[in-house]
Amino acid sequence: MIESRSETSLLIVFTNLSRFSAQSLRQTDVETADMVDAYYERLATAVQAAAGTVVKFIGDGALIVFPEGTADRGVEMLLNVKGPIDSFMSDRGWECRFGARVHFGTVVAGPFGAPAAKKYDVIGKAVNATALLEYPTGITLSVEAFRQLSPGLRTHFKKHTPPVEK
């Protein structure tokens, strides 16, 4: 874990599963917990393979960051994981679909929390901007995130100002 806080530029991602709340009402708590854990494992494995960090899981969502200069890897991971996660959920009778909001900006990163239980987190206006991005479905990029992508990867997205959507 990082021992001190610092300002750094990151690709910031919030993920979630659409219709998760409605679906979880039809399941037992144990079934929901098992599904969430299996989803966390799949997502965390993909994030780690792409050199990202899962900052935290929050219910069916996750806050994920990728270091500056790795936007292509992060966005490619999101594009590559969407189909398999959607299929995983569907194959188990869950009507949930994977979605993500993606932004690039400066944050304060480091340990936050109670004195004896500090954990790595990211705080700042860029985190809030990511959380507030509208996304009807799929993967939504802010203009700032879109600009971090290579020209080849940009072709996967329809350019709208703002946000940029797939």
Q: Give the SS3 label for residue 66.
A: strand
Tell me the pLDDT band of 113, cut-offs 50, 70 and 90. very high
Q: What are phi and psi of 100, to 5 degrees?
A: -150, 145
pLDDT, tens digit, 9 for 90 and up, residues 88-103: 999 999 999 999 999 9
- The residue-averaged pLDDT of 34-52 equals 97
pLDDT, tens digit, 9 for 90 and up, residues 49-106: 999 999 999 999 999 999 999 999 999 999 999 999 999 999 999 999 999 999 999 9
Rounded (10°) angle between helices 71-91 and 29-49: 150
Q: Give the SS3 label for residue 70.
A: coil
Q: Which of 14, 38, 17 is nearest to 96 (CA)?
A: 17
Separation in Å, CA 9 to CA 17, 103, 106, 151, 155: 26, 11, 4, 20, 24
Q: pTM of the full predicted structure?
A: 0.91
Q: Which of 77, 40, 76 is nearest to 57 (CA)?
A: 40
Q: Quick count: other Cβ atoms within 10 Å of Cβ 131?
A: 13
Q: Give the SS3 label for residue 5.
A: coil
**DSSP 8-state assignment for residue 75:** H
Tell me the CA end-to-end span of the chain in Å, nearest whole number: 34
Query: Cβ(140)–Cβ(163) under 8 Å?
Result: yes
Q: What domains, with CATH codes, occur in the chain? A: 6-165 (3.30.70.1230)
